[in-house]
Structures are given as C-alpha cells and as structure tokens.
Chains A and B, each alone.
Chain A
Amino acid sequence: MSYLELKNVDKYYGDVHAIKGVNLTINKGEFIVFVGPSGCGKSTLLRMIAGLEEINDGDLVLDGNEITHQAPSKRDLAMVFQSYALYPHMTVEENMSFALRIKGEEQSIIDQKVAKAAETLNLTPYLKRTPKELSGGQRQRVAIGRAIVRSPKVFLFDEPLSNLDAALRGQTRVEIAELHRDLNATSIYVTHDQVEAMTLADRVVVLQGGVIEQVGTPMELYEAPANKFVAQFIGQPQMNLLSASYFSGISADAVDVGVRPEHFSIVDAGQGAISGQVELIEALGNETLIHVCLEGSGEKLIVRQYEQPSIKVRDSVSINYDASHLHQFDAKGEAIR
C-alpha cells in the first residue's frame, strides 16, 4: 500500500543533473531515511517532495493524489529544517500555532493542540519565550513541535540533529525514535550520518550522485549491500575490499571481495589464507581494530576482534575469513548473489 510515490523524478540546476530519475515508494507510517555523502542530492530530493524545489520531470503522488506541481502550502507536509527556521519575532507558542492560526482554526482547538505538543516535547515552561531565549536543543524541539501540531500527512526532516553537540544528538535521536513510535506518522529523514540512518529507519535509501544505490532495511543494507558503494558506505569501520585472488571457492566473475572487519580473524601463523604484517592496533576497550598490510600486494585490511590481542605492531600474522560472509562484486562493482 503505497502512500507517497516518486515516479522517475528528475531535477536540473541549469546544466547540473542533480536528481537522476528516482523511483521510490513509501508506505504509510514508515520511517524512511535518505543517507549519502554530502552533495549527493538528499536535501534536493526532500525539497522536491516538499514542493520547495520544482520537479523537472516525473510524477509525485501522495495518498492517491498527484501533487507534482502543487504549491508547498497545499501539500499538507511539515518540514523540520536544518537551521530550525523558527520565526524569531514570535514566541514558542506562536511559532507552534502559526500554521493553525493562519488556517483559521478555532482558538480552543489551537490551545489544546499546542499544549499537547508542548507536553510531549517538554516545552511547556518555555511557551512564552522567543527562540533566541532557548538553547539549541530546545529550539530543535520547537521546530519539531511546529510540525507535530499540524498533524501533517508526512514529516520531512533535513539533517535536524547536525547543529547539536554529540551528547544531545544521541539523546534527541532516541527522542525522535520514541516520537515516531508514538505518533506512527510517515516520516522522511535526511542525514549523512549512518548511525542515525541505521538506528531510526524502517527503510534506508542510500543515495549517490543523484541516483538511488539501494533501498532496504538497515540490516539488509548491512548484510547484503547491492554494490561496492553501499558496502563501503554502511558500517564503521568500512568493509574491507580485497582482490578476488585471495579467496577460493568464489564466483568466476568476482573481481573484488568485501569482508567486514568482524568476519576476519587472526589465527596461528601458517593457518590462515592471508598473511601480512600488523601496522596499527587500535584498542577501543570493547573491541580492538587491527590494521594489517598484506604481503606482496601491499593491500590493507582491518580486523575487528573482541578479545584483547596478544600480538604487537610489526608482528607477522595470518588471517582467516568467514566464508559464509563474503560479499563478491563484479567488474562493475555490483554484488554477485
């Protein structure tokens, strides 16, 4: 049951083809995250859905209605901007009630909705303040409150956490997840941070250069990336990519093979398929990352292990891989299944 559907949408900025024929179907109540490197077109795609950027080609359908060229004010979507875009001369209460007031909603209903949203977001004590009298986190919540009060068809978020410090970002991320669970509202969330993408999303859309690389649940992306780009974009540290010659029993088309750091293990000398020299050991407490430079080719890889290592830098080591967790890629970089 599709609620919001993008059919082959295109966006040009002059000669720049920013969005290249994107198809996407979003279901009601889903939390979709657009993720990708900076400049890949995440914001552009979101703003096209919002109506803030013109759609040059293709169709946009919301809840059965074609809205490709409808004005943003008619689409019944709410957006939380990266800069929050609060109205500086209005109080928190006025900010949150603005949309309802200009729609001519009854005052008692407005008061009730604002009070409820403020309650949910812990903003009740600040209703009479103006945005400049609030902290960053509070402003961010007002921006969310402004969206909630309207009960829109879809919530749009453009990197809402990027202006917060690390601690607050983690906390707010959890709050947004809880909010989505409570409201069960269809949401599209843009971020370049894969942790946000993995923790919040029902489905993640990975974008690069204006095209969708893969759509799937966070676990699908992690366990079965469709191509080299997704494989390396999702996961920290990155998936190791080695030439196929190190591996046996793989497809003849495979050019590169990807192995996540946790699927390598250090074994006794001569026991492993791959051997190399330890370059760096990063002990992070709960886990240890061992950087190894391979003999001969000089390729590098990272091994993740959860026990304290007994090896030292410049030791020669032998490495084994978990054959059930190999990701094979052909010459074009597409995954071979």
Chain B
Amino acid sequence: MPRLLLSPAVITLLIWMVVPLALTIYFSSIFYNLMQPDSTGFAGWMNYEFMITNPAFSDAIINTLVLLASTVAITVIGGLAIALLINETFPGRGIVRLLLISPFFVMPTVNALLWKHMMMNPIYGVLAQVWTFFGLTPINWLQDLPLFSVIIMISWQWLPFACLILMTSLQSMDREQLEAAEMDGANYWQKFRYMYLPHLARPISVVIMIEVIFLLSVFAEIFTTTNGGPGTQSTNLAYLIFNEALQAFDIGVASAGAVFAIILANIVAIFLIRIIGKNLEK
C-alpha cells in the first residue's frame, strides 16, 4: 500500500529522468545531423569516436575540471575568510552582509556582461583603469586569460553563497566552547583549526556539493563572454556539446558528448561522496 501511494511521485520522477536519458543514448547511436537529413540509420560507436577524437574534447574535460576545482577552492576559502571576518560585531555589519550576499541575486548572463564590459574591457574597463593608474599595460582579460576570467566571474557569483551558508553556521558556534579553548591556551589559529573548522565541516561539504552540481554545467558565462575561445581555451563540456548540437547541428555527436558528461558527473560524484560524504552523515 505505501508503495502504491508513493508510485505517482516515483513514476513521474522516473519518466522525468529515464526518458531524456534513453533519448540521449538513442540519439548518440544514430546518424542525426540536421544539415544532412539524408544520412540516417544506426551509427554504432561512430558518434563516440567522433567526440573522443575531436581535439577540443580533452581540452573541454580539462577545462571543466579546472573551472570546477578553482571555483570551489576560491569560493570556499574566500567565503570562509569573509564569514570569519564579519562574524565579529562592528558598526554597519547588517549592511555589509547584505552587500556581500547581493551578487548571488545577479543573473549569470548579467554577471558575465558586467564583468566583460565594466570590469575587464581592456580599454574602458575598471581593471584596465587600475592597471594604467599604476603604469602597467592593461591586460586583455578575455583574450589572454579566458578561462581565468570565467573563473573570476563565476567565483564572484558563488562566493556569496558559500559565505552565506558558512556565516549562518558560524552563528550557531557555541561561545562557551571558544572561551574554554581560549582558557586552554589556544591562539586564533588553533581555535580555527580545532574549533571552527570541525564545526564548519558539514556546511563546507554542503557548499562543495551544491557548487559542484551547478558548476559542472556552466554555460551562460562562457556563451556571453568568450564563446569558448580563443580556440578551445575556455570551452567546457557543456559548451562543447552546445557547439556540436547548435553550431555544427550534429545531434548524434552532441548526444555522445552528453553521455560523456553524465559519466564525468558520476565520477566526480563518487569522489565527492568518498571524500566529504561522511561529513554529512553525522
């Protein structure tokens, strides 16, 4: 009986997952190019071979992982530092907190355009002005450091999220425990290492989990700024799939790429659960 009652939800979810998955796998096994409607039929591993031998593929995987790892590292470390900093009371703390959170409410495309034009433009961007002020040659961010630029944009967007979660859980830190540690002779670093860090282990795991889910499929920031270029320097897997499907119109190859993306996501998930999953069980 309970199973029967659960079934509408379970069945909907299954359809939701299984149908697109089955279709993706099906498309990846046939010739399906919008520009060549005459080539049809079973393709075997051809689409997969096409994807793997594409020189952009390995770049895309590496870029995806670099983007993921750097952004998670920057946001967690930066978010932790800021959260600890504004955990102390000072005048205007409420406003500072509000301002810190606000980037999270900016849409990804708007965020990317803001950085592209306002901050990183080599002629009139704010960063260029700063560089000129110090007598340096302005950096052409999106041309010379494309992946790094994208990482900066995404980190700016996700830092508030990490900060918000860590900030709230710092507030539940027991004050007497810190005082006890202080009486036990702990300095700030020892309190950080033995009190704050264990207390924050779980929220940090949550932040990493959620960020990984969203950052594996970054697209809008790349699409609006670098278009994956120059060359493949800022192409990640999501962007490569988009390229295959809607630039080269090869649905078959794009679907093969999507299957790789699923596999990559699973590998990352297994690692994650191994490393930080145990923090969540407590």
Does A205 reach chain B (CB closer than 8 Å)? no
Cα–Cα distance between A81 and B177 once the two chains are bound (Å)? 9
- CB–CB B185/A102 < 8 A: yes
Taking CB atoms, residues of chain A closer than 8 Å to B181 are 87, 98
CB distance from A42 to the nearest CB of B (A): 16
Does B190 reach chain A (CB closer than 8 Å)? yes
Known pairs A72-B182, A102-B185; A89 contacts B174 (CB<8 A): no
Q: B171-209: which have CB < 8 Å to A?
A: 174, 176-177, 179-187, 190, 194-195, 198-199
Cα–Cα distance between A86 and B179 once the two chains are bound (Å)? 11
Interface size bracket, B side = 10 to 19
4 closest A-B pairs by beta carbon, nearest first, are A99-B184, A85-B176, A89-B198, A85-B180
Closest residue of chain B to A143 (Cβ to Cβ) is: B180
- CB–CB B174/A83 < 8 A: yes
Q: A57-111: which have CB < 8 Å to B?
A: 71-75, 77-79, 81-83, 85-90, 98-99, 102-103
Tell me if B's interface is mostly helix, strand, loop or mixed: helix
Interface size bracket, A side = 20 to 34
- CB–CB B183/A73 < 8 A: yes
Does A50 reach chain B (CB closer than 8 Å)? yes
User: Chain A interface (Cβ within 8 Å of chain B)?
Assistant: 50-52, 71-75, 77-79, 81-83, 85-90, 98-99, 102-103, 146, 150
CB distance from A143 to the nearest CB of B (A): 8
CB distance from B197 to the nearest CB of A (A): 9
Cα–Cα distance between A87 and B187 once the two chains are bound (Å)? 16
Cα–Cα distance between A78 and B182 once the two chains are bound (Å)? 10
CB distance from B68 to the nearest CB of A (A): 28
- CB–CB B179/A52 < 8 A: yes
Cα–Cα distance between A85 and B186 once the two chains are bound (Å)? 15
- CB–CB A87/B190 < 8 A: no
Cα–Cα distance between A47 and B218 once the two chains are bound (Å)? 52
Q: Select A81's contact among B176, B198, B199, beta carbons within 8 Å.
A: B176
Taking CB atoms, residues of chain A closer than 8 Å to B177 are 85-88
Taking CB atoms, residues of chain A closer than 8 Å to B176 are 81-83, 85
A52-B179, A78-B183 given. 13 additional CB < 8 A pairs? A50-B183, A52-B182, A73-B183, A79-B180, A81-B176, A83-B174, A85-B180, A86-B180, A87-B181, A89-B198, A90-B194, A102-B190, A146-B180
Q: B127-185: which have CB < 8 Å to A?
A: 174, 176-177, 179-185
Cα–Cα distance between A88 and B180 once the two chains are bound (Å)? 12
10 A–B contacts, CB within 8 A, in A order: A50-B183, A77-B183, A81-B179, A85-B174, A85-B176, A87-B181, A89-B198, A90-B194, A98-B186, A99-B185
